[in-house]
């Protein structure tokens, strides 16, 4: 496998297509335009791969075992580009990226010759495809949270946050806003992991890190950890509340076990008691926020409003 190159990545047809969603005005390029162009790229890939004995899938050469696998590397490329563009784009400018992704991952690409759904790893492209989840998880785990970058997972106090590179903080917040918005738009399913645009595991990790650790509110406010937790309430309060009502277990014990303040709890995922704990912690953080920090106070107020509206069914 060749070494990664940003030059090659940004010169790909997928990147050049999807970057229009963040660079061109909405009246010039809509999410529907993006959907049509990506469909065209998939069909071109299908035509190119039809006679090949080997296909490029997930960075490896695999045997072409039939028509459904003909999408090749396009699903992975689309996922990687969406995640990278999300990391580069502030939440206020992500609307078309979110619209595009939420619509794309409800569709199924059909092989025009056989009439069968195109597949990757045995799952339909796009409605069952996990490439976007995999790419976002990789970015979150290997780049944003890598210890050599300061370790976003290791933030415990405001002083920890100071040492985190500003680019990592920005990418972290942008990615969480993107995944939160998609989670809010994801169709409800019995288990979140059946859904290619539902990031319950990221939500519970983010909320636990902010509101269940041994961190005083005056230390927490102002950290990226706190900012990210607020983003989950601001952009996905309804989805998080739905997880609490269904008591969804997200990401296994490592992701969803209680934080250090609540080790005596038998929590295994989302539940209403845990939701109430998060909301109370957010309220406490609000009282410790300086009156001069209007931006943070507004963020907290917005997060609390969304949380209370969600739990009250408004």
- pLDDT, tens digit (0-9, with 9 covering 90-100), for 167-193: 988 999 999 999 999 999 987 665 556
**Band of the pLDDT at 1, cuts 50, 70, 90?**
very low
CB atoms within 10 A of CB 270: 25
21, 108, 109, 119 from 116: Cα distances, Å = 30, 10, 9, 9
Q: Return the closest-CA partner of residue 136 out of 191, 198, 61, 50.
A: 198
- pLDDT over 90 for what percent of the chain? 58
CA–centroid distance for 191 within its chain = 17
DSSP letter at 193 equals: G
Q: Per-domain residue ranges for the chain? A: 6-124, 131-311
Is the pLDDT assigned to residue 150 strictly greater than 60? no
95, 113, 118, 177, 271 from 83: Cα distances, Å = 14, 31, 22, 11, 29
Q: Contact at 8 Å (CB) between 31 and 102? A: no
Is the pLDDT assigned to residue 67 strictly greater than 60? no
What's the pLDDT at 223?
A: 86
Across the strands, what pairs with 54? Answer: 63
Mean pLDDT to the nearest integer, 218-230: 88
Give tens-digit pLDDT for 264-301: 999 999 999 999 999 999 999 988 887 768 999 999 99
Report the alpha-carbon distance of residue 233 to residue 251 in Å, rounded: 19
Is the pLDDT assigned to residue 5 strictly greater than 50? yes
Report the alpha-carbon distance of residue 234 to residue 181 in Å, rounded: 9
Q: Return the closest-CA partner of residue 206 out of 229, 174, 237, 190.
A: 229
CB atoms within 10 A of CB 298: 10
Task: Tell me what the pLDDT averaged over the chain comes to.
Answer: 87
DSSP letter at 82 equals: H
Q: Give 259-298 as a DSSP string.
A: -GGGTTS---S--HHHHHHHHHHHHHHHHHS-TT-HHHHH
Report the alpha-carbon distance of residue 39 to residue 46 in Å, rounded: 11
End-to-end CA distance of the chain: 51
Record the tokens describing residue 165, joined without a space.
Answer: 């590179």
Report the alpha-carbon distance of residue 102 to residue 98 in Å, rounded: 6
Most confident of 94-108, 129-143, 160-174, 180-194: 94-108
């Amino acid at each position: 496998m060749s070494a990664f190159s940003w030059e090659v990545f940004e010169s790909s047809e997928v990147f050049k297509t999807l970057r229009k969603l963040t660079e061109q005005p909405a009246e010039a390029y809509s999410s529907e335009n993006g959907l049509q162009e990506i469909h065209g790229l998939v069909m071109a890939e299908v035509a190119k791969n039809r006679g090949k004995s080997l296909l490029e899938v997930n960075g490896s050469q695999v045997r072409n075992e039939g028509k459904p696998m003909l999408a090749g590397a396009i699903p992975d490329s689309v996922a990687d580009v969406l995640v990278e563009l999300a990391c580069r784009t502030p939440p206020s400018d992500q609307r078309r990226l979110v619209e595009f992704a939420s619509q794309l991952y409800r569709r199924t690409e059909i092989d025009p010759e056989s009439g069968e759904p195109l597949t990757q790893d045995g799952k339909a492209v796009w409605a069952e495809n996990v490439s976007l989840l995999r790419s976002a998880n990789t970015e979150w785990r290997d780049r944003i949270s890598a210890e050599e970058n300061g370790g976003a997972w290791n933030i415990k106090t405001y002083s920890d946050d100071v040492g985190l590179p500003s680019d990592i903080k920005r990418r972290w917040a942008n990615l969480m806003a993107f995944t939160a918005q998609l989670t809010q738009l994801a169709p409800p399913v019995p288990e979140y992991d059946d859904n290619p645009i539902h990031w319950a595991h990221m939500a519970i990790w983010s909320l636990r890190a902010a509101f269940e650790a041994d961190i005083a509110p005056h230390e927490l406010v102002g950290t990226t950890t706190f900012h990210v937790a607020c983003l989950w309430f601001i952009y996905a309060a309804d989805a998080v509340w739905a997880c609490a009502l269904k008591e969804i277990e997200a990401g296994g014990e490592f992701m969803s076990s209680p934080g250090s303040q609540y080790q005596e709890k038998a929590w295994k995922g989302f539940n209403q008691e845990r939701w109430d704990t998060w909301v109370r912690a957010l309220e406490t953080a609000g009282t410790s926020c300086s009156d001069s920090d209007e931006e943070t106070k507004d963020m907290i107020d917005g997060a609390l409003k969304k949380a209370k509206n969600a739990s009250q069914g408004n």
